[in-house]
Chain A
Amino acid sequence: MTSRPAPDPVFAFELNGETVTVSAPAHHTLLELLRYRQGLTGTKQGCDKGDCGACTVLLDGSPVLSCLTLAVTVAGRAVTTIEGLGAEHRRAEGRPHPVQEAFDRSGALQCGFCQPGMLLSSAALLRKNPSPTADEVRAALSGNLCRCTGYAQIIEAVLRAAAVERGEDPPAPAWSIEPRDEEP
């Protein structure tokens, strides 16, 4: 006997602050839903099997891997992608998220493929712990691989964002040989 496949489930969830109702096949991941149904390509598809962290999104505020999350299981929950992280802050304060600004200032990227995941993991860390140590930053980003930067500037950027948010001077960059501009 051949059975017809069940119709695609329809469900609602909060995507970057807005409630959306979507339909997605039961066997699709959240990553497939975001990239191929919602057109939000900021979330990167790297290994697609949990190893790299490029697909990191925030689920109810905590970093998870969208490639290992079944789309239907986010029904009723809140998902933040990189598109939403900046937007949330621009709306609230008229500027990018502090970690985005700091990654820019510290030159914490080369190809940029890891960056959406890095930024979301960093933002979640700073929300929980506004004064992390360098080791706490390393631990929080240990599920996000970067093939380019060697991580030094990324760690520095997160410490910088934390310091700026606390209203303190950012720590001196470890790698710069030139005197740097004053903070704007």
Chain B
Amino acid sequence: MLRMPRFEVSCPESLPEALALLAESELDTRVMAGGTDLLVALKNRLEVPQRVVSLARVGGLDHVTEQEGSLAIGARVTLAQLGASDLVRRLAPALGEAARSVASPQVRQVATIGGNALLSTRCRYYNQSHFWRKALGFCLKKDGTLCHVVEGGKKCVAAASGDTAPALLTLGARVTLESQHGVRALPLLDLYRNDGIANTVLRPDELLTELVVPAQRPGHRGAYEKLRVREAIDYPLLGVAVRLDVDPDSAVVTDVDVVLTALQAKPRRVARIDSLIVGVPIHGEAFEAAAAQLGLRARDQCHPVANVPGDPEYRRKLVPVLVRRALLRAAGAA
């Protein structure tokens, strides 16, 4: 049985009330949305706060609305809601697929998009009980001075493990962060840092309140592919999101974006791929060849390490496979 350390819980009823609680600095405080990640971290003594502020009763954070093709998503919208949303299916298909691939039905029922976007990085030597970590020796990310993944490493290389982030990045999503000091809106990519210990720029007094997916071009297609041991419950060992923009008349690719996750602390955009696939018609052998080439280019930019389970060389070999699959599925060819 995994008991949690003692803490207080506050359940503010409004956003200003929640922000006021976060602005007080006397108690070491953590925010809880669905709690599906935070509670495990508390049980494993990865977090030992004095107070937990629950967003469960804060109003105004659970909308999914469309305005001229752009989607606004409240931070507390659950992954079950997103996965079932027709708006998401139509306007941002990769996001719906990613949401449906997270964990299990019971977890998605309460897990939120905000918590998913802010998920901490994961590592096979970190996401363990206190007993386990103590027995092996603590690591840089919590309580220790060395890294078990990279010998002699001075920087934590735990892996970005949220499934929705890569999909949101291909869609050009922006996030809104609010505190008592004001509101800042930034591209989702700028929320993340390539640092396994502090993987986002969110301040302790800030809440993520909304995500915005801008209107996509006509002919937008997207898909998310995920490598994992079982088809349910498991975190990604590799995640691949793709966006394909296709000219509705000529069926030729006009733009492409591929973002990978579960490799390093920050999801990674594959570089220099336009020339491989832009201008290629999505139906036919040329597209299949281009998708295979693009997969190899992605692989050449990836160097998986033994941060999450799964042999790194195997994960590297699966990069071109998943990239190709995602592209073919987005194109409607598989």
Contact = CB atoms under 8 A, between A and B. Distances in A.
A138 to B, nearest CB: 9
Nearest to A45: B1
Contact of A26 (B9, B104, B105, B232): B9
B229 interface: no
Interface range, B side = 20 to 34
Interface string B44-86: 1000000010101000000000000000000000000000000
B110 A69 contact: yes
A5 B7 CA distance: 8
B22 interface: no
Interface of B: 1-2, 4-9, 11, 32, 35-36, 39-40, 42-44, 52, 54, 56, 103-107, 109-110, 231-233
Interface of A: 5-6, 9, 25-29, 45, 48-51, 53, 56, 59, 62-65, 67-70, 72-73, 121, 139-140, 142-145
A64 B56 CA distance: 15
A121 B106 contact: yes
A50 B40 CA distance: 8
A51 B8 CA distance: 26
A66 B59 CA distance: 24
B6 A5 contact: yes
A22 B1 CA distance: 22
A143 B106 contact: yes
B107 A143 contact: yes
Q: Which 8 A-B pairs have the closest CB atoms?
A: A143-B104, A142-B232, A26-B9, A48-B2, A27-B4, A143-B106, A65-B106, A63-B106
A48 B39 CA distance: 10
B40 A27 contact: no
A70 B39 contact: yes
Contact of B105 (A25, A63, A72): A63
Nearest to A49: B40
Contacts of B9: 9, 26-27, 70, 72-73
Contacts of B54: 70, 73
Given A9-B9, A25-B6, A48-B1, A68 B105 contact: no
A56 B106 contact: yes
A27 B106 contact: no
A28 B35 CA distance: 13
11 contacts: A26-B9, A27-B9, A45-B1, A53-B106, A68-B39, A70-B35, A70-B54, A73-B56, A142-B105, A142-B231, A143-B106
